[in-house]
Structure 1
């Protein structure tokens, strides 16, 4: 790192206050994994101001795990159990909104199947005076360095698999995507782009959120390891990149939600119909390859076709609109049906 870069990083570190951060966790029936994540937060070098836990209507011991860690964490714990499972998209919608209303300056999002590297928050804080959307790196379950596809094609609206995996002396690369497994975002960006769209349920929601953010500010992935995955996923090892196993719900939503992406791209005057359609075809083909190569079956293709069918309904729904950017800036009234509990 150059002297200029080191100076900027040291300045950012001095100005950054970890207590201005809210960690937002979305969990669903994986209390054993949530236990590991909260244990890692307990021993962090610097504590966030809040830990917001959004429980997607779990039926396991999630609430007991939260109760056990609440007095042990230095941060204020805010636990909200939703009445139904809203998926990752719905969970992060509620979580980001909650953190925003708590006054958090920075929001660090993560799923329940990771643990925090002890000095992870400090590593992100080093970059906070230079960028407002920061993605740290993570280790995979086996300890290897996980490669995340941080660039997407604006015309195809799919990840670019051959984006460089290495970093130069600057220590970062610009990205135009996002991943809720570790996205670190400033509240000013949330004010401008709004909340994650819960209608995705799962898939494409974080890519779109990062894409929207990158249109108003420089978003980066930095060469800092801040998370470690704690759940083993069956995958095909392709060297730096991997082909992970999927599921029927994922196959359905990955195709259905292309229609939601299309509506957003049209709204932002970035839709190129032929290229976007090609991106949809390539996505379909990738899921077929995933079935054959990783899961060793062709069962599940019906979910891809169902997703395409239901996506057409969204595409032609005249009442459907992208979420308003003003929604994030307006505090919501408490909803009793959400069973909100501040512990």
Structure 2
């Protein structure tokens, strides 16, 4: 029997978490286990959710962390707990991922249809019904791990790809036990990218067109916050050096990445208004990424 554990990481979004959990409950084939990892929410999430759901059920678990260590640490915590069950697959997502009816049934069908696959995903949709394109990517340059998004046309059928986000991902126990848990010290940004690079050693990933997850996010790549940009710069460089080494090509790419980010400050008005903070974030992120100084940085935390 294919047993699935569903890990959901949350922080200060209790209504969204309620919707995400309800979307698990209404599945035609629900996961056998559910783990909610609360990254030290301050909005009353714990009481709100416990009042609405039966966490006394031994299959549902609510875990509140002592501090917000970021999504990657939350996923690592949930996956560690899930591995203590008899599940053979683990689903991971944030609290803004709402599974459409039949999502897990489609995943189970995919497991039978593609027995050689060890990582599956569903198609990620935005509230307007369009595909959220940044979640499934293919590598265009292996030396620098450069990627492009999968085309909209591709989503009409099942397809293989190279890089996933942590929205609607299902990983086999065997892969997780082989590659370990997500990098907890990445805090935010590129933690999923780095984990995908590790998982890719066991083959490309399969996206199932029949499995759909609604991503209720307000984030866009045009939205800029200096504290977030620090982790974008730092983690992108750190993962590239980790997986491709310190060579001429990597050094050239990292310098070019920094230069492009600095030039973008001049090109976009919303960045020019934050020029000093962004320059500091990019330069410090570049330095810390190069020297693998990871973890939460007190100078770059949500305000």
TM-score normalised by L of structure 1:
0.74
Q: Identify the match of residue 157 of structure 1 among 141, 145, 148.
A: 145
Indicate how the Cα distance of structure 1 residues 271 and 222 shifts in structure 2: closer, same or farther if over 3 A, else same.
farther
Contact 1:21 1:50 in 2 (8 A): yes
Secondary structure at the aligned position of 1:314 is classed as coil
> Which ranges in structure 1 are unaligned for 5 or more consecutive residues?
1-15, 236-242, 318-343
Q: Is it true that 1:34 corresponds to 2:34 in the alignment?
A: no
Among candidates 27, 34, 42, match of residue 59 of structure 1: 42
Matched, 1:209 2:187: no
Instruction: Please provide the CA RMSD for this pair.
Output: 2.8
Judge conservation of contact 1:173–1:221 (CA < 8 Å) in 2: yes
Task: Write the deviation string for residues 182-232 of structure 1: whole angstroms up to 9, x where unpaired.
Answer: 111010111111111101111111111111111123322232342102233
Alpha-carbon distance, 1:56 to partner = 0.8
Looking at structure 1, the residues matched to 257 and 144 of structure 2 have their Cα atoms a distance apart, in angstroms, of 10
2:178 is aligned with 1:198 = no
1:6-26 deviation digits (Å, cap 9, x = unpaired): xxxxxxxxxx64xx1111111
Mapped to 1, the partners of 2:155 and 2:51 lie a distance apart of 43
Aligned to 1:276: 250
Secondary structure of 2:120's aligned partner: strand
Q: Deviations over 1:257-279 (max 9, x none)?
A: 134313431xxxx4373333344
Report if aligned partners of 2:106, 2:208 keep a CA contact under 8 Å in 1.
Answer: no
Task: Give, in whole Å, the separation in 1 of the partners of 2:265 and 2:53.
Answer: 40
Whose RCO is larger (CA < 8 A, sep 6+)?
Answer: 1
Aligned length: 285
Map of 1:252 onto structure 2:
230
For 2:90, what is the secondary structure of its paired residue? strand
Where do 1:80-99 residues align within 5 Å?
A: 80-99=63-82
SS of the residue aligned with 1:150?
strand
Q: 1:132 is matched with which residue?
A: 118
1:261 equivalent in structure 2: 239
Say whether the 8 Å CA contact 1:140–1:228 is kept in structure 2: yes
Q: Can you list the C-alpha shifts for 1:306-343, whole angstroms capped at 9, x where unaligned?
A: 2112223327x9xxxxxxxxxxxxxxxxxxxxxxxxxx
Q: 1:262 to 1:144 in 2, by over 3 A?
A: closer
1:250 & 1:44 partners in 2: Cα distance?
A: 34
Structure 2 segments unaligned to the other structure (5+ residues): 295-303
Say whether 1:307 aligns with 2:285. Answer: yes
Q: What secondary structure does 2:27 align onto?
A: coil
**CA contact under 8 A between 1:141 and 1:232: conserved in structure 2?**
no
- Of 149, 152, 167, the residue aligned with 2:154 is 167
Summarize the Cα distance change of 1:150–1:176 in structure 2 as closer, same or farther, 3 Å threshold. same
1:97 and 1:178 map into 2 onto residues whose CA distance is 20
Q: Structure 1 CA distance, aligned partners of 2:85 and 2:122? A: 24
Deviations 1:71-118 (A, max 9, x none): 299882111111111101111111111111122211111111121111
More moved, 243-252 vs 185-194: 243-252
Task: Tell me what 2:298 maps to.
Answer: none
Give yes or no for the alignment of 1:121 onto 2:98.
Answer: no
- Per the alignment, residue 24 of structure 1 pairs with 7
Q: What is the TM-score normalised by the length of structure 2?
A: 0.83
